[in-house]
Structure 1
Amino acid sequence: MTDEFVGLAAPAKRALAAAGVGSLAELSRRGEGEIAALHGMGPNALRILREKLAARGLGFAR
């Protein structure tokens, strides 16, 4: 897991790690619904992830 996920709560970080997502680039290859369904991923974490992706010119896969 990279420091790209700084500011994200520990349960959300663990959920991403368990799903094999270690970077924003990897996250952008996943759909938002898939990530939202992970145990430990809440609405605030999704908002933060959307903001982090947008800051890099990325977004969730469609």
Structure 2
Amino acid sequence: MKRTAVLRRVRRAARDAGVPYEVVELTNHTGVVVGGVRSTLGRHSEIDDVTARKFFDQFASVLGKGWWR
């Protein structure tokens, strides 16, 4: 899955849920904050599907269980 698609999916889900979304560029990663939950995503153009699912699952407490399906 493309990195931009991962970020777009999180951004849209946050907007639909009405929670704040913020992207912070760190040294080697991109920090994503959704409703107070912070996670990082590597700056690779292609993100492995397993990694993307684990990244999505970190926001389940804010966006709901299985929100990415």
Does the alignment reach a TM-score above 0.5?
Answer: no
- TM-score normalised to structure 1 length: 0.32
Larger Rg: 2
More helix by share: 1
> TM-score, with normalisation over the residues of structure 2?
0.30
Higher relative contact order (Cα pairs below 8 Å, separated by 6+ residues): 1
